[in-house]
Structure 1
Amino acid sequence: MTQAVPARQPRTRTRNRRGEGGRLREEIIVAAAALLDETGDQHAVTLRSVARRAGIATPSIYPHFPDQPAIMLAVVRREFAGLERRLASVVQEAGDNPRRRLLAVCGTYLDFAEQHPQRYRTMFGGLWTPTLGDNSLSETDLTLLGAQSMLILVEALGACAAAGMTTSDDVPADATALWVGLHGLAHQRIVSPSYPWPKDISERVILSLARLEAA
């Protein structure tokens, strides 16, 4: 059951200068994401609640978003973009060792889900499912959501295969299996926090599904 969240007083907001409409759009998305974090309920993200959180009048939303589903879709797109940036960053930081890069990508993915559980569930349909045709959303749009993150995972596993660090003989298929395992673990840890998860459960999932050779 969703816990009641104390009402927040609307914050005082400085009016945007001419040409800064993009800033207001971003503030609306940030406000919606914050409400989602606090409530874990997409129904709590209404035009009125978002406007109140952003410190604006509800009609100020309409030049940027026609309705609540459009705001939710913008939140999902923003979070996928943020996840992709984090994964790309750890690939650079991990250096030239393919095994280290793959483990860093997988660990960062799981960390993202743990740090932003409600956003993560929303990204993958756990709290909100977009409807094709709404807000010009096509099946291609849905396919592209998260595509770059998946490509980063495929490339990381492929580098391990090229270096002889994994027994994978079908990198795209094994990367998909690895993602399914990561997603399953991330989701279950969110919805079953009291389960006595083994301390090394992440390593067990990653090493097994990536078919990594012993270090």
Structure 2
Amino acid sequence: MNDPSASARDRNRRGHGARLREEIVTTAIRMLDELADDQALSLRAVAREIGIAATSVYLHFADRDDLVFAALQQAHAELMDSVREAADQAADPVAELRARTLVLGGWAWQHPGLYKVLHESTLNQRADMSFKRVLGEQTTDVVRRCIDQGLAREDDADEVSLDLRSAVHGAVSMRVNEPDLPWPPLEEQVDRYLVKLVGVTPATLAR
């Protein structure tokens, strides 16, 4: 006689559980982007979307916050991969800073719902979202290299980085929440930020 529990164990050994968890997270990412609200997501809705029992989701995630956190962490990791790819193609620190900033702005424009949940949801008050700090740390490092190489005015790299990130997030958030305003191309705004806030010269940007 076949042992059902043995079959289940065999499937788990072949990575079935890991694949299902990945599918749950991927589905949650897509649904969060559509809903733009972590409170509107439910584990049962995710299960229905995949076509599995709700209990299967609960085997991997204790509650909604647990799943949303995993989804945001994965989405952020994928974003950072795109940022890293753009940075690797840059010829100098200024081009890298510009490329990084444009990738972030483009991602937010393409995924406004995820952007809102990642930065504006109440989960930010309930969970440790320190995984987001890497982006700020990397931006500060690039700003410091711009200054050290004489490509930007002498200044405090930490303060300049914070000012730049505040300006970019403000612009992106307004574009997401007020899309009907007559927005200029994001590239134009980013170039102005680099000149006014970082102290990059227009000639350096034009190289």
TM-score range, shorter chain: 0.7 to 0.9
CA shift at 1:77, angstroms? 1.1
1:98 equivalenced with 2:93 (yes/no): yes
- The residue number in structure 1 matching 2:182 is 196
- Mapped to 1, the partners of 2:99 and 2:124 lie a distance apart of 31
Percent identity between the two aligned chains: 29
1:106, 1:206 within 8 Å by CA — same for their partners in 2?
no
Change (3 A) 1:131 1:171: closer
CA shift at 1:131, angstroms? 4.8
* TM-score, with length taken from structure 2: 0.85
- The residue number in structure 1 matching 2:151 is 165
1:54 equivalenced with 2:50 (yes/no): yes
Letter in 1 for 2:132: G
- Mapped to 2, the partners of 1:43 and 1:130 lie a distance apart of 12
1:129 equivalenced with 2:126 (yes/no): no
Letter in 1 for 2:171: L
CA shift at 1:198, angstroms? 2.6
Letter in 2 for 1:102: L
Structure 1: 4+ residue segments shifted above 6 A: none
Partner of residue 116 from structure 1, selected from 86, 90, 111: 111
- Tell which structure's C-alpha radius of gyration is larger: 2
Question: What's the RMSD between the two structures over aligned residues?
Answer: 1.9
Structure 2's unaligned 5+ residue stretches are 1-7
- Mapped to 1, the partners of 2:154 and 2:108 lie a distance apart of 26
CA shift at 1:188, angstroms? 0.5
Task: Work out the number of aligned pairs and report it.
Answer: 191
CA shift at 1:209, angstroms? 1.8
- The residue number in structure 1 matching 2:72 is 76
Q: Any idea what the Cα deviations from partners look like across 1:134-157, whole Å, max 9, x if unmatched? A: xxx5xxx33x22121112211211
Letter in 2 for 1:77: Q
- Mapped to 1, the partners of 2:75 and 2:21 lie a distance apart of 15
* TM-score, with length taken from structure 1: 0.82
Letter in 2 for 1:98: P
1:42 equivalenced with 2:38 (yes/no): yes
CA shift at 1:59, angstroms? 0.3
1:17 equivalenced with 2:11 (yes/no): yes
